[in-house]
Structure 1
Amino acid sequence: MVGLLMPLLTSRSYKVAASHLAGKSACRVSPSIVNEGSDPTFPEGLPVKGRHGMAVNRRGWMAVVAALGSSIIAGRAIAAGSGGRKQMVHHVFFWMKTPGRWTDVDKLIAGLETLRAIPEIRELRIGVPADTENRSVVDGSYGVSELMVFDTVEDQRRYQDHPIHKRFVESCGELWDRVVVYDSIDV
């Protein structure tokens, strides 16, 4: 279904129509997202031409938004596993022994990538500190982080004992100076 909607979702008129659906009767848009021949104010009932030449009106966009909402809800239900169990998040922060040595960061990231082969992991994200605004509540002093999602606490325990995880700790353990773990469960 998403494949069928992609031409609509990638059209420049999407931003115009989406803001119209958010309750704006007249949308102000920059000229860069307005297609030739379209009305940038998007008055009631007038279609806007998408990138693929399709006329997109308010009713059509409402159908698209409803279909996407249903798909997202269904996807989250499937991802949550059976029985409505609450998923567990395992977030690990690594401070490098030698900060700024990018070969060590690359080696740690490569080691973390090997953990994707562990079947209990539902989602794995690996990152480095984002270049966000400097605020007193933001700690960007770590070198690398990984965030994992498990269906259950028991799955996380199995992950800890998995041979791939043990090999990762053995081969990459000399790269970090400090590790902080935050485990949480859905509420």
Structure 2
Amino acid sequence: MIVKQTPLKDCFVIEPNVFKDERGSFFESFNHNAFKENTGLDIEFVQDNQSISKYGTIRGLHFQTGESAQAKLIRVAKGKVLDVVVDMRPDSETYLKQFGYVLTGENNHQLFVPRGFAHGFACLSEDVIFIYKCDNYYHKASESGILFNDETLNIDWQIPKDEQIISEKDQNLPTLKSYLNS
């Protein structure tokens, strides 16, 4: 496995060793010991989630607050997404900075997102199977988020506006400025 530090503190891109032959391919999607050795983080994942989306779908920017904050290990089993994270940790040297990375079912790369980050993704292929591990259980009362098209963040989701599919819930998330002033 190759682990690369992103421009955001504690956020990593992980490239697994993929073994290919005439039958197809194999890779280890998670190994606790290898993860700990390569990142220095001793994370215990307790929940796996999967979503299936179609082209144009934008999900996010989501996060959980307080004791229910979640670190995530994200990958795409099928398709292609633009995955975007924003460091929401006030004490971080990369506070309010963002990072985007393309994850595909072909490159098998993963993104480790630490607690305290907002997260979202845009589906850039016809169909997407999106899988992620969490180190804390979902807690509805702790969910929060930032508006996907916040003017301050100015994220290019790589999907034309007239083709974007966004849930009503995500369309009603606060702007970054509103969230920070609440």
TM-score bracket, normalised by the shorter chain, equals under 0.3
Give 1 or 2: higher strand fraction.
Answer: 2
TM-score calculated relative to the size of structure 1: 0.27
Give 1 or 2: higher helix fraction.
Answer: 1
Q: Whose RCO is larger (CA < 8 A, sep 6+)?
A: 2
TM-score calculated relative to the size of structure 2: 0.28
